[in-house]
Amino acid sequence: MRARIFQLHKRSSYVFEAIQDKFAVTEKCQIVALADGATQGFKSEQWASQLVNSFVERPGFDAKDFLEMAHSEAERFRAGPFQYNANPAMASLERTKEKSGATSTFLGVRFSDEGMELISCGDSNVFIFQADQIVGVPFANLDELENNQSFLNTNQILKGIVTPADFFVTAVPLKQDDIVLICSDALSRLLLASPDVLRELIEIKSFEEFLTFCSKYWENKSLQEDDITAIVIVPPVDETILVLPTPDFSFPQEDTPLFTPFFDDSLQNDEAMQEIRSQLFRLEQEINVLKKRSAYQMLLLKLGLAAIAVCVLLGILVCSFPSSVDVKPTTSNRTLPKRSTQMPQAAPATSAPLQQLTNDPSQLSKDSASH
């Protein structure tokens, strides 16, 4: 029988080297170890590697024995040394993160003729596909997995905060032709929510098929965007096949431009808006002034043209009257009355004065206001 080990890194990591799921197996998969380094920890992928490699060399299915092994590994991890970022703000983050230690989950399995032994701390899970049913160990349903808060942190191990109570240890009998599937948390969540997907998963043979499988469930949002590990074992194992991304495989790096709000930064407060409104109002007023001026100038032009036209008409009329009138001389002694040499006095005003035409803006403003 064969064991197939499938791994695919999360899309946001782009390259396989960044995967934080670490595994180790002995020949013929008698011992299998899977650890999922937590991003929140300091160099957690390194810690996860230490755990799985040490476990397959020195497997312990007693929680106390496991903790002894983990304790010595945590001391080795803490000894470092580590290099820090040149950016002071980033270096500060790294030093702070280092103080909180590295964090990982862990799941170890040993196969024998009697069945399977399991030791676990964290949210990885084992699924046993038995003919007509699927059994999840240690988590039988999604709520149990979600409520699990256990993990292996280097600092907490060294301080003795992690105890055997944080581990799940059990033995499970296996039947011939049972298929065992060991998964990290993202895939475990999918299989607990939709157990039938396991039937699809165990049929996968190649990396391309696995990539298609993961991509499909990532796209429909039923699989978390996380590292995916699936170790499919039909014991007893004669051959172990690694199904991993090829060295040249990477997810495309999306060149997503940084978000920029659509609205204009300068329009975010009343003062700026009021200034702009004021400027618009002044502009509107000036346009009105120009319009008025233009209107009056047009009126003047029309009046002038009208006056000219009247004069021309009058001239035409005068010219068209008869040129002389017969006037008989008289000898009477009547004399013609003398013409007065005084100008007649102006008649008293009896109507309002003519409106003055002006281009005084203040007058125009008053006019426009009255309109």
Partner 1 sequence: MYNIRNLTISSTHPCLIIYLLDQSGSMGEKFGNASHNKAIELTDAINDVIYEIGLRCIGNSGELKNRFELAIIGYGRNGDNVQSGWEGPLQNKWVVSIKNIFEYPLGQVNDKPIWIRPYAQDSTPMVKAFQNARRLCQDWIDWGNHRDCHPPIVINITDGEATDAGSDFRALKIESEQLKQLSTNYGSVQILNIHISNRTGDRVLFPGEMPTTDDRSARLLFDISTPLTENMVRLAKQKQYNITDNARGYVFNGNATDLINFLNIGTPQ
- Which residues are near partner 1 by CB under 8 A? 10-12, 18, 20, 37, 39-40, 43-45, 84-85, 87-90, 92-97, 100, 146, 189, 221-226, 254, 256-263, 265, 268-271
* Min separation Cβ 232 and partner 1, Å: 23
Which residue type does 39 have?
Answer: T
- Of 91 and 287, nearer to partner 1 (C-beta) is 91
- Of 10 and 110, nearer to partner 1 (C-beta) is 10
* Min separation Cβ 155 and partner 1, Å: 14
- Of 196 and 254, nearer to partner 1 (C-beta) is 254
- Of 1 and 93, nearer to partner 1 (C-beta) is 93
Q: Are 193 and 187 in contact (CB under 8 A)?
A: no
* Min separation Cβ 211 and partner 1, Å: 17
* Min separation Cβ 206 and partner 1, Å: 25
- Of 4 and 153, nearer to partner 1 (C-beta) is 153
250 burial (CB, 10 Å; 0-12 / 13-18 / 19+) is middle
Q: How far apart are CA 257 and CA 324, in angstroms?
A: 99
- Of 186 and 364, nearer to partner 1 (C-beta) is 186
- Of 169 and 244, nearer to partner 1 (C-beta) is 244
Q: Are 45 and 103 in contact (CB under 8 A)?
A: no
Q: Give the DSSP letter string of 278-328.
A: HHHHHHHHHHHHHHHHHHHHHHHHHHHHHHHHHHHHHHHHHHHS-S-----
Find the angle CA(130)-CA(134)-CA(137) to the nearest 5 degrees: 105
* Min separation Cβ 156 and partner 1, Å: 16
H/E stretch holding 179: strand 179-183
Contacts of 222 (CB under 8 A, 6+ apart): 190, 193, 194
Q: How far apart are CA 259 and CA 51, in angstroms?
A: 40
* Min separation Cβ 233 and partner 1, Å: 27
Q: Are 225 and 11 in contact (CB under 8 A)?
A: yes
* Min separation Cβ 20 and partner 1, Å: 7
Q: For the sheet with 115-121, list strands across it.
A: 21-25, 31-36, 106-112, 115-121, 168-173
179 burial (CB, 10 Å; 0-12 / 13-18 / 19+) is buried
* Min separation Cβ 158 and partner 1, Å: 20
Partners of 121 in the beta sheet? 106
* Min separation Cβ 37 and partner 1, Å: 8
Bridging pattern class, strands 239-243 and 2-8: parallel
Q: Are 154 and 203 in contact (CB under 8 A)?
A: no
- Of 93 and 289, nearer to partner 1 (C-beta) is 93
- Of 90 and 140, nearer to partner 1 (C-beta) is 90
